[in-house]
Amino acid sequence: MKTREQMMEFIQKQKTAFIASVDEDGFPNLKAMFAPRSIEGNCFYFSTNTSSLRAQQFLKNPKASIYFYQRGRFKYEGIMLTGTMEVLQDDDTKRKIWCMGDTMYYKKGVTDPDYCVLKFTAQKGRYYCNLKTESFHMEDLE
């Protein structure tokens, strides 16, 4: 099993995150997104459109999962985290993860009402590497 530090280093190297929400019929919905803008402890921050299907699903049901992986020629490594997702629209949080170039997606800038932050709080996860899978709770990681 990797340490918390090793897992975070692995996650920070990935350019894509897969995010799962739950739809109104109880089925999982999966979407590829850009990597988290910020990671603080067990919290991962993503930017998205307030009007997006994913944001609307998280407002109704905060259960969520995120997945990161790296596929090499001879090695596949992946980390799945499960927890809850909050849809944040306060100016402080939006400014905190705003990046130059975001106006391409949010024409009105950081105060665009269609710009929001998804805050994922990890509770537990599964790590896969070299044909082995291990489950863990975030509070148990070194």
Can you give the pTM of this predicted structure? 0.93
The pair phi, psi for residue 115, each rounded to 5°, is: -110, 125
Q: Residues 4-140: name the CATH superfamily.
A: Electron Transport, Fmn-binding Protein; Chain A (2.30.110.10)
Judged against a pLDDT cut of 90, whether residue 141 lies above it is answered with no
39, two tokens = 């990671």
Question: What is the CB-side half-sphere exposure of residue 29 using CA atoms within 13 A?
Answer: 17
Residue spans per domain, the chain: 4-140
89: left (phi over 0), alpha (psi -120 to 50) or beta: alpha
**Model confidence pLDDT, tens digit, residues 15-55:** 999 999 999 999 999 999 999 999 999 999 999 999 999 99
**Model confidence pLDDT, tens digit, residues 89-138:** 999 999 999 998 999 999 999 999 999 999 999 999 999 998 899 999 99
CA-CA distance, 68 to 35, in Å (whole number)? Answer: 9
